[in-house]
Amino acid sequence: MKPFTQASTDGQLAWVIFTGRLREFGMLVLNRHRDEQVCIGDGIVVTIVDIRGDKVRLGIDAPEDVPVHRREVYDRIQLEKGNQDAKQPNAG
C-alpha cells in the first residue's frame, strides 16, 4: 500500500500520494474536497469523508487482500517483522 500524507498550502488541503514515479518532489499532489474521491489503479478508492480543522477522515475501499494501515502502524509492523526475522535461526 502506498502511504498518504497531508500537506497544507494556503489553507487548502492537498493529498500527497507517493507514486514511485519521478515527478516534482517525487510525488503527485492532489486537492480534494469533502465527498470527493481518488482512484488508485482499478481496485482502490479513497474518499474524503470529513474535514474538521486539521483532521481529515478518509474512507478507503480496497480489495481484502490489500493491507491498509496508518503509517505509524505500518512502520511498527515492519519493525516487528524485522525483529522476528532476526530471531529466526538460519537453516544451513
Tell me the per-residue pLDDT of 57-74, one tens digit each, with 9 for 90 and over: 999 999 999 999 999 999
| Beta carbons of 38 and 46 less than 8 angstroms apart | yes
pLDDT of 8 > 80? The answer is no
Q: Looking at residue 85, what is its pLDDT?
A: 77
Output DSSP code: residue 92: -
Q: Looking at residue 1, what is its pLDDT?
A: 41
Instruction: For 45-61, write each residue's pLDDT tens digit.
Output: 999 999 999 999 999 99
Nearest-angstrom CA–CA distance, 27 and 54: 21
Parse the chain into domains and list their residue ranges.
Answer: 4-87
